[in-house]
Structure 1
Amino acid sequence: MFRRVAFAALTVGLLTTSACAPMTTYSGFQAIDASPKDVKVGEDTKSTVRGSLGSPSATSTFEDDVWFYIAQVKERVAFRRAQVVNREVVSITFNPETEVVEKVDHYTLEDGKVIAYNDRETPTRGRELTVLEQLLGNVGRGGMLPRDDEGVPGTRPGDR
């Protein structure tokens, strides 16, 4: 009897603790054979970087000579919101004329900044209709009643 109770308690305990294990999600650039940290300034070119690392995650909006390799790890426990636990951004700047690597910058989660978005909305002209006004808006407009279309261009006499 004691063994059954102990086994049931152990099973319940294991199920309870396994439900709280975090689910880890990896997204972005995943370094397999080479790492962006291995890029050498003054030696590597755009073609060698693309050959070893592949296409960048993103390029600069204003300059085509800056490539970004971005990777992040998120963890989610049970029903809670996912938290970013690790983020790495490697910025590689190339010389526009020679396409040789000029600068390699490494950024982590600590280098990021939280931006407060402005959630205000621009008001539009007019007025907002209530649900009742939307439902009863066409009542009395005569959509179902026969119309007197005599003399209107595009109608023929006797087409009813």
Structure 2
Amino acid sequence: MQKTQRITKFGLAAILALATSACAPIVRNHGFAPSDAELEEVIVGVDTRETVEDTVGPPSVSGVMRADAWYYVASSWETRGAFAPKETDRQVVAVSFDEAGTVQNIERYGLEDGRVVALNRRVSDDNIKGISFIRQLLGNIGNFTADQFVDN
């Protein structure tokens, strides 16, 4: 009887170990976003597309290249058991360039509760392209006087 109890206890322990290991999350990482240390080497107003590519590399397949900006996107997904994968982290780094190809703006965004949140932003003084029309319009409230609208 004692041997049967040992086998039963060992069997239950093995089943418990398998059951708990099946619940361990599977983490998958996709894309690439440069670290803050890498981005500190990029100087706004000085570096160009070529020097950014040498420093942090071009955007990967997960990123997007446009004429005026490069986007680096990295995300982490976690899967637990039979449940659908859930995105646990997303980093988006946007590097904007002016017409001459010089870095004009560097921003880092993160995913917080489904909202895009700016985590880091380095902007040259004369950048208004990244600001929406509504923000520009509302930013001018109080900057006008009545005599500016009267024809003389």
State the TM-score, normalized to the length of structure 2. Answer: 0.61
Q: Deviations over 1:90-137 (max 9, x none)?
A: 00011212x221110111012439xxxxxxxxxxxxxxxxxxxxxxxx
In terms of fraction of residues, the more strand-rich structure is 2
Q: Which structure has the greater CA radius of gyration? A: 1
Call closer, same or farther: CA 1:66–1:31 in 2, change over 3 Å. Answer: closer
Q: How much does 1:55 deviate?
A: 1.9
In terms of fraction of residues, the more helix-rich structure is 2
Aligned-partner residue type, residue 26 of structure 1: N
Instruction: Give the match's secondary structure for 2:76.
Output: strand
Q: How does 1:4-153 map to 2 (within 5 A)?
A: 4-29=7-32, 31=34, 35-36=38-39, 38-56=41-59, 57-60=63-66, 64-97=67-100, 99-110=101-112, 111-112=115-116
Instruction: Give the match's secondary structure for 2:94.
Output: strand
Q: How much does 1:30 deviate?
A: 5.8
Q: How much does 1:3 deviate?
A: 3.4
What residue ranges of structure 2 are gaps of 5+ in the alignment?
118-152
The number of residue pairs the alignment matches comes to 108
Q: How much does 1:10 deviate?
A: 1.6
Q: Please give the root-mean-square deviation of Cα atoms over the aligned residues, in Å.
A: 2.4
State the TM-score, normalized to the length of structure 1. Answer: 0.59
Tell me the distance in 2 between the aligned counterparts of 1:39 and 1:100. 11
Q: How much does 1:42 deviate?
A: 2.7
What residue ranges of structure 1 are gaps of 5+ in the alignment?
114-160
Q: Deviations over 1:34-88 (max 9, x none)?
A: 744653323322101112222211024xxx1211000000011112111100000
Tell me the distance in 1 between the aligned counterparts of 2:12 and 2:40. 49
Call closer, same or farther: CA 1:35–1:18 in 2, change over 3 Å. Answer: farther
